[in-house]
Amino acid sequence: MKKHIVIIGSGVAGLAAAVRLGAAGFKVTVVEANNYVGGKLTAQQMGNYRFDMGPSVFTLPDLIEDLTKVSKQDVKFEYLSLDKICNYFYEDGTRLTAYTDKEKFATEVATKLGETKESVYEQLKFSATAYELTAELFMEQSLHKLSNFLNLKTAKAILQIGKLKMGKTMNDVNRARFKNQKTVQLFNRFATYNGSNPYQAPAIINIIAHLEHNIGAFAPKGGMHDITMHLYNLSLKLGVEYKLNTRVQHIKTVNDTAVAVITSNGEIAADIIVSDADIKHVYTKLLDKKYYPTKILEQEKSLSALIFYWGIKKEFKELGLHNILFSANGEAEFKCVFGEKKPYHDPTTYINITSKVTPTDAPEGCENWFVMVNVPHNTSGEPVTYVKEMRKHIVAKINRLLKTDIEQYIEIEDVQDPYLIEQRTSSSGGSLYGNSSNNKYAAFLRHANHSSRIRNMYFCGGSVHPGGGIPLGLLSAKIVSEMIAEKN
C-alpha cells in the first residue's frame, strides 16, 4: 500500500516536493489555505494588466527542467535567455546596463564607472569559485547528516575554505576590489536576493551574482507565474491531490511521531508530513510548544518588501525587464532598514516590467510596473503605517532619475506590504526569505529539512535549509524528497 504524504502549503518548494514525491510513487495530498497555489509566486489580473505578485528573478532554469524530467511528462517549460540582466540608474545621472555578455558588461563598468575590466572579471571569478566550492556541499544536500561530510569531496572543499574569505563581509570584499562606490553598490545589492545586509552578510553571499552573470539570466515566456502553473500541472498528472481553501490548524503527533494534520475541513491522516510553511508559523501555530527550537527561531529575520503594482499608460524605452534606481547612500539605507528597523526615505527602487518580454501583460503602448523597495519585516503584528509616505518618496525618486512625472501615467494600482504578505503567506512578519544571512554561520543556523524530535516530519521552503529564493526552495524540495525516498 502506498504511503500517504501530506504537504502543508503549495509554495514553489511544496509544488516541487509534490512532483518529486508523486513521481516516486507516493500518494500525495497538498493542503493549501488560499484558493490558489503558488504562495508568493502567484499572479493577478487587474483590468488589462497582468502582474506577477512576488518573485521576479529567474535563474537556474535547469532546476525546473529537472522536475519535468522527474515527472516523465512530455511537456516543455518555455523561457527566454536575456541579453541584458539589469539597467542601473544613479542619483548623479549615471546609467549603466549589466549585459549578460561578460566582455560587454566589463566594458560598460570600465567606461561608466572607471573600473578596470580585470577587476570585473576577478569579481565574477570569485563568485564562480565560491559557488563551485559550496553549492554541492551546502546547497544541494542536508547539512544535518554527518554522512554527507565524510567524503573526499567535502574534505577538498574544506581545505580550500580560505578562498571564500569567511572572515570578511560582502561589502569588505567588494570595496577592496573596486574604487568606485557605485560599483560596490551594484555588487552589494545581490545581498537583498536573500533579504540580507551586505555590510553584515559574509563575502560568500557574492555567489548570488554568479547565477546571473556567469550562468545566465532568464525569463519565463508567460511570466514568473508560469513556474507555479508548470509545477502544478506536472503534479496533477502524477495524481497529486490538492485541498484548497483548507487551513492547517494543528499537526497531530503521537509518541513524537507525526500522524495527521487537523484542518479547517477536518482531519487528514498521514504517514509522512512535509511542511512548506514558514518555520516559525509551524512551531508557534501548528505544533505543540514542547517542540519549539528557541535558538533557531529567534535568529534575525530577512527583509520584507513594499510593492506597488502600477498599470502605466506609457512606454519607457530606457527601461527593460529588470531596473534598479539606487539610493544615494547605500550604507545609510541598510543601517536604517536593519539597524533602526524602519523604511529609508531614499530607497533603492526596483522596477520589474514583464510586458518587456511578454507584451500581452499590458495594453499596447503601456507597461505593467512591479515597483519594490526593501523594508524591515513587521514585528508589530499590526498593519504598517508608512505606505503613503513611502509612496511619495518612491514617486519622487522615479521622477528624478527618469526625468518624468509618473503620477499622470498610473491608471491602475494595487499594493502589498509586510502585513499583507504575512496575512497571505503566513511568513513571519512578512519576511521574504525566513532568516537573514547576516552571519557567517547563517547556513548552519537554518532549520534542518527534517525534525530531530518528531518522526516522519520534514521541512522545505525558504525558511529552512538551504535558504530563501526560488532556486534554494527547489533544492530544499529535492533534499527532502531524497531523504524520504531513502527511508521509505
Q: pLDDT tens-digit profile of 281-300?
A: 999 999 999 998 887 777 77
Q: Identify whether residues 211 and 282 lie together within a single domain.
A: no
Total domains, the chain? 2
pLDDT value at 311 more than 70:
yes
Distance between CA atoms of residues 462 and 247, nearest Å: 20
387 in any annotated domain: no
Distance between CA atoms of residues 325 and 262, nearest Å: 46
Q: Identify whether residues 64 and 153 lie together within a single domain.
A: no
155 in any annotated domain: yes
Higher pLDDT, 158 or 391: 391
* 310 three-state secondary structure: strand
* 255 three-state secondary structure: coil
Task: State the Cα angle at 65 between 60 and 69, rounded to 5°.
Answer: 150
Q: Identify whether residues 111 and 169 lie together within a single domain.
A: yes
Q: Where are the beta strands (DSSP E) in 356-461?
A: 367-375, 410-416, 457-459
Band the pLDDT of 169: cuts 50, 70, 90: very high
320 in any annotated domain: no
pLDDT value at 158 more than 90:
no
Provide the 10 A C-beta neighbour count for residue 473. 30
Q: Identify whether residues 197 and 226 lie together within a single domain.
A: no
Q: Please give the average per-residue pLDDT across 201-218, as a whole number.
A: 92
pLDDT computed for residue 15 by the predictor: 98
Per the listing, cell 531523504 goes with 483
Rg (CA), the chain: 22
Q: Identify whether residues 204 and 228 lie together within a single domain.
A: no
pLDDT value at 302 more than 70:
yes
Letter for the amino acid at 292?
Answer: Y
Distance between CA atoms of residues 91 and 397, nearest Å: 9
Share above pLDDT 90 across residues of the chain, in percent, rounded to a whole number: 81
Band the pLDDT of 276: cuts 50, 70, 90: very high
Q: Identify whether residues 209 and 111 lie together within a single domain.
A: yes
Band the pLDDT of 150: cuts 50, 70, 90: very low
Angstrom distances, CA of residue 218 to CA of 57, 78, 86, 215, 223: 8, 10, 11, 10, 11
pLDDT value at 161 more than 60:
no
29 in any annotated domain: yes
Distance between CA atoms of residues 44 and 335, nearest Å: 33
459 in any annotated domain: yes
DSSP labels, 66-77: HHHHHHT-----
Q: Which of 185, 216, 247 is the last residue of a domain?
A: 216
Q: Identify whether residues 119 and 203 lie together within a single domain.
A: yes
352 in any annotated domain: no
Q: Identify whether residues 67 and 212 lie together within a single domain.
A: no
pLDDT value at 140 more than 60:
no
Sheet holding 304-312, edge to edge: 95-99, 84-89, 322-325, 349-352, 367-375, 304-312, 410-416
pLDDT value at 172 more than 60:
yes
Q: Which of 156, 182, 216 is the last residue of a domain?
A: 216
Secondary structure of 188-218 in the HEC alphabet?
Answer: HHHHHHHCCCCCCCEHHHHHHHHHHHHHCCE
pLDDT value at 403 more than 50:
yes
Q: Which of 216, 249, 282 is the last residue of a domain?
A: 216
C-alpha cell at 423: 496575512
pLDDT computed for residue 137 by the predictor: 59
Q: What is the pLDDT of residues 330-371, one digit of tens each?
A: 999 999 999 999 999 999 999 999 999 999 999 999 999 999
Q: What is the pLDDT of residues 104-115, one digit of tens each?
A: 999 999 999 999
Rounded to the nearest 5°, which phi and psi values hold at 443?
A: -60, -30
pLDDT computed for residue 156 by the predictor: 59
Q: Identify whether residues 137 and 207 lie together within a single domain.
A: yes
pLDDT computed for residue 204 by the predictor: 84
pLDDT computed for residue 25 by the predictor: 97
pLDDT value at 238 more than 70:
yes
Higher pLDDT, 273 or 292: 273
Q: Please give the average per-residue pLDDT across 306-318, as a whole number.
A: 98
CATH classification at residue 240 = 3.50.50.60
Per the listing, cell 484558493 goes with 35
Letter for the amino acid at 189?
Answer: R
Sheet holding 257-263, edge to edge: 248-254, 257-263, 266-269
Band the pLDDT of 142: cuts 50, 70, 90: very low
Q: Please give the average per-residue pLDDT across 373-387, as a whole number.
A: 95
Band the pLDDT of 301: cuts 50, 70, 90: confident
Q: What is the pLDDT of residues 433-468, one digit of tens each?
A: 877 766 655 555 678 899 999 999 999 999 998 888
CB 19, CB 70: distance < 8 Å: yes
Q: Please give the average per-residue pLDDT across 403-409, as a whole number.
A: 98
pLDDT value at 148 more than 60:
no
Q: Please give the average per-residue pLDDT across 52-67, as a whole number.
A: 96
pLDDT computed for residue 272 by the predictor: 98
244 in any annotated domain: yes
Distance between CA atoms of residues 97 and 85, nearest Å: 8
pLDDT computed for residue 442 by the predictor: 57
Rounded to the nearest 5°, which phi and psi values hold at 400?
A: -65, -50
365 in any annotated domain: no
Q: Identify whether residues 72 and 111 lie together within a single domain.
A: no
For residue 269, what are the β-bridge partners? 260
Note down the domain range covering 160.
106-216
pLDDT computed for residue 145 by the predictor: 47
Q: Identify whether residues 123 and 33 lie together within a single domain.
A: no
pLDDT computed for residue 144 by the predictor: 46
CB 156, CB 82: distance < 8 Å: no
Q: Identify whether residues 123 and 210 lie together within a single domain.
A: yes
Compute the Cα dihedral for 375, 376, 378, 382 and give only its sign.
negative
pLDDT computed for residue 445 by the predictor: 64
Chain mean pLDDT for the chain = 92
